[in-house]
Amino acid sequence: MAVLKIGDTDRFLVLSALALFVMGVVMVYSTSYIVAINRFGDEFFFIKKHLTYAFIGLVMFVAASRIPYTIYGKLVYPILLLALVLILFIYVPGFGFKAGGARRWVHLGPLAFQPSEPVKLAVVVFLAYSLSRKAERIKDFYFGFLPNVIIPGVFIALILMEPDLGTALTLSALVLIMSFAGGVRLRYLLGLFVPAVPVLIYVVEKHPYMLKRLLIFMDPWKDSLGAGFQMVQSFLAFGSGGVTGVGLGEGMQKLFFLPEAHTDFILSVIGEELGLAGVGLVIVFYVVFLVSGINITLKAKDLFGTYLALGLTVMVSMQAAVNMAVVMGLLPPKGLTLPFISYGGSSLIINMIAVGILLNIYIKNAEEAS
């Protein structure tokens, strides 16, 4: 891996993910050490946990890159079932864990994770399988459209019930984009918005804080000490950083001004400490990852591989784009982590598995080519 050549997409893919991960480790430490000293008396408290997850993720990554991706096609229904079981665990007393008014976490022994993360992966596998099987009949409403909507729809509904609007919406977008790429008629897809609107209204009404978030998003400065506090603090962080940043570890905003600084709002800290240069670098790495993923998509020999690669690429890129848009106030707050960078176990592991599968698709394709 000493020299990178154009066309070595796998290296671009792996290196971009690795670069983002390394930035993540540095930034998670820089962001969390003061909070860690304060809360736990150990400045390495968060970074230790982060690296533990990263190690698990690395093992999974290596494993995923070795397992032939075609096996997921064959195991699509067991995978779906497993995902269903995981997400239902949330509602099982003793496993489900409520944090911040929402049931999003499951405790399994010492591990705590968000089932919505593996669900995303399962939905991508299912869609890739389903879209690649339909081929000719993809334009058909009953064969091409309905199954690709109903099965993910069940999961989306379950996630919506947690409630986790952010993940539900990004998963919906993921389904739309994959279906679109798979050739499902655009008018069917657009038609989905008709039933989606009342559902959204219902969910938002049931959880008033979501509406509040939405309104605050329009003008966070209006209530900069209340509901808009987090957004305003994020803006201040970006603004304080300027072009070159205040220097690694020197940021002020993470000192409790910016809640969730080491998870959802880690890009704000990057913006403050490393400036536009740091933020630009992060974006560049995501673009490299995106282009590499699309390249693998296009070079995949079979349709399942194509859709799977596309789905995984979109899954990561979507979350990255949405998270960045949120912390800069382009989208209302969602509660999504920044792939590879944020502190957050389940998300990091799932994303590393995604890179492993992408790599395997590339390898299989290269083997066939030679």
Partner 1 sequence: MKKAKEQKNYLKVRVFFVLAFFIVAFSLVFLRAFQLQVLESESLKAKAARQHVRSVSLRSKRGDIYDRNFKELAISIDVDSVYARPTQIKSKRALSRALAPIIGLKASEIRRSLSSGRGFVWVKRQIDLDEAERAKIAAMKGVGIVKESRRYYPNNGLASNLLGFTGVDSNGLEGIEHSYNTYLSGATRKISGGRDARGRLMLFGDTGNVVPVEGMSVELTIDKTIQYVTESALQSAIDKTGAKGGTAVVLAPATGEVLAMATAPGFNLNDFRRTSPELWRNRTVTDSFEPGSVAKVFVVAGALEEGLVKPDDIFFCENGSYRVADRVLHDAEEKGWLSVSNIIKYSSNIGASKIAEKMGRETLYRYFSAFGMGTKTGLDLPGETSGSLLDVDKWSGVTLHTISFGQGVSASSIQLATALGAIANGGFLMKPYIVKEVKSGTGKVVKANNPVIMRRVISAATARSVRDMMVGVTGEGGTGTKAAISGFDVAGKTGTAQKPDFEHGGYRKHAYVSSFFGFVPAENPVLTIIVTLDEPQKGHYGGEVAAPVFKEIASKSLTYLGVTPQGDMHPSYGKKRGAAKALRSGVGTKEVSLRRGFAPDFTGLTMRKALRVSREGDFDIKMIGGGLAVRQSPGPGRPLKGVKSVKVWFQ
- Can you give the binding site for partner 1, defined by CB under 8 A? 34, 135, 177, 180-183, 225-226, 229, 235-243, 250, 252-253, 255-257, 271, 275-276, 279-280, 283, 286-287, 290-291, 294, 297-298, 306, 310, 314, 317-318, 321, 324-325, 328-330
Q: What angle do CA 274, 279, 285 make, to 5 degrees?
A: 120
Alpha-carbon distance of 193 to 181, in angstroms, equals: 18
Measured CA to CA in angstroms, residue 24 lies from 31, 195, 240, 322 at distances of: 10, 39, 20, 17
Q: List the beta bridge partners of residue 112.
A: 107
Q: How crowded is residue 158: how many other Cβ atoms within 10 Å of its Cβ?
A: 20
Work out how close the CB of 62 gets to partner 1 at its nearest, in angstroms, rounded to a whole number.
Answer: 27
Work out how close the CB of 214 gets to partner 1 at its nearest, in angstroms, rounded to a whole number.
Answer: 19
Work out how close the CB of 85 gets to partner 1 at its nearest, in angstroms, rounded to a whole number.
Answer: 31
**CA-based nearest residue to 349, from 12, 69, 111:** 111
**Do residues 83 and 119 make contact, with C-beta atoms less than 8 angstroms apart?**
yes
Work out how close the CB of 290 gets to partner 1 at its nearest, in angstroms, rounded to a whole number.
Answer: 5
Q: Whose Cβ is closer to partner 1: residue 87's or residue 314's? A: 314
**Do residues 305 and 364 make contact, with C-beta atoms less than 8 angstroms apart?**
yes
Work out how close the CB of 149 gets to partner 1 at its nearest, in angstroms, rounded to a whole number.
Answer: 18
**Do residues 57 and 349 make contact, with C-beta atoms less than 8 angstroms apart?**
yes
Q: Whose Cβ is closer to partner 1: residue 42's or residue 250's? A: 250
Q: Whose Cβ is closer to partner 1: residue 151's or residue 176's? A: 176
Tokens describing residue 79: 């995978």
Work out how close the CB of 263 gets to partner 1 at its nearest, in angstroms, rounded to a whole number.
Answer: 17
Work out how close the CB of 346 gets to partner 1 at its nearest, in angstroms, rounded to a whole number.
Answer: 23
**CA-based nearest residue to 16, from 316, 240, 254, 264:** 316
**Do residues 154 and 205 make contact, with C-beta atoms less than 8 angstroms apart?**
no
Work out how close the CB of 178 gets to partner 1 at its nearest, in angstroms, rounded to a whole number.
Answer: 9
Query: H-type helices in 183-260, by residue range?
Result: 186-191, 193-206, 208-218, 229-241
Q: Whose Cβ is closer to partner 1: residue 115's or residue 275's? A: 275
Q: Whose Cβ is closer to partner 1: residue 53's or residue 238's? A: 238
Q: Whose Cβ is closer to partner 1: residue 217's or residue 257's? A: 257
- Name the maximum alpha-carbon separation found in the chain: 61
- With 0-12 / 13-18 / 19 or more C-beta atoms within 10 angstroms meaning exposed / middle / buried, residue 146 is middle
Work out how close the CB of 173 gets to partner 1 at its nearest, in angstroms, rounded to a whole number.
Answer: 10
Q: Whose Cβ is closer to partner 1: residue 279's or residue 354's? A: 279
Extract the runs of DSSP E, i.e. beta strands, from 252-341: none
Q: Whose Cβ is closer to partner 1: residue 70's or residue 224's? A: 224
**CA-based nearest residue to 173, from 321, 354, 66, 22:** 321
Q: Whose Cβ is closer to partner 1: residue 306's or residue 347's? A: 306
Alpha-carbon distance of 138 to 52, in angstroms, equals: 43
